[in-house]
Structure 1
Amino acid sequence: MTETVIHLGFWELLIGSIVTMYMLIAGGWVLAKAGRSPLWILLLLFPYINVLAVWAFAFMRWPFVDRAPNSTEPGPADRN
């Protein structure tokens, strides 16, 4: 019986760790800008749950998009 074992070297692990950390930091920043908790990004680390998390995030309400416009700032029609 043969077993398949993946042996990763130092450089593969280092590059994989850097890419993963960049994904987590950039994704957390995007979530924070969208008005959500940056901790949502941790769901991307789990297989199958990550697909559901991205789907849920895409279809939930976005606080910064759905909020009422500020009445003190002139709109595009008011600038003329």
Structure 2
Amino acid sequence: MPSVIHGSGSQSEGRQQMMGDWLDMTAYDLGHWVVFAVMIAIVLYPIGRIRGRIGLSPLWSVLAVIPLVNLIGLWVLAFADWPGKEKRGG
């Protein structure tokens, strides 16, 4: 079978064209930022309400959007002493 040999000029032009297309797809327009802000608000609002009800600052809910920090915070919250919960003597 005959092999197809590409010239070095056409190959580098193809790479540049592909890279240009990739860079165009990574741009964020206003719609992306609006969806991002709505999704963050949907997550942070209830977390802030829960934290406010247990006597902590709702501003700590911002940590929920940081990877790994959100998991650590969830575990700390799960095992923390909650106000209104009476200690059982035993």
Both proteins in one fold, TM over 0.5? yes
Correspondence for 1:59:
79
Q: Structure 2: where are the runs of 5+ without partners? A: 1-14
Greater fraction of residues in helix:
2
Moved more, 50-59 or 12-21: 12-21
User: Deviations 1:22-56 (Å, cap 9, x if unpaired)?
Assistant: 32222111111122221221211211111101110
Query: Is the aligned partner of 1:39 residue 2:59?
Result: yes
Aligned pair in 2 of structure 1 residues 35, 16: CA closer, same or farther (>3 Å)?
same
Q: Aligned residue pairs: how many?
A: 67
Which residue identity lines up with residue 58 of structure 2 in the other structure? Answer: P
Q: Contact conserved, 1:35 with 1:64, CA < 8 A, in 2?
A: no
Identity across matched positions, percent: 23
Q: Structure 1: where are the runs of 5+ without partners? A: 68-80
1:9 deviates by: 3.0
Which residue identity lines up with residue 20 of structure 1 in the other structure? Answer: I
What pairs with 1:1-80 in structure 2 (closer than 5 Å)?
6-66=26-86
1:11 deviates by: 1.7
1:20 deviates by: 0.4
Q: TM-score, normalised on structure 2? A: 0.59
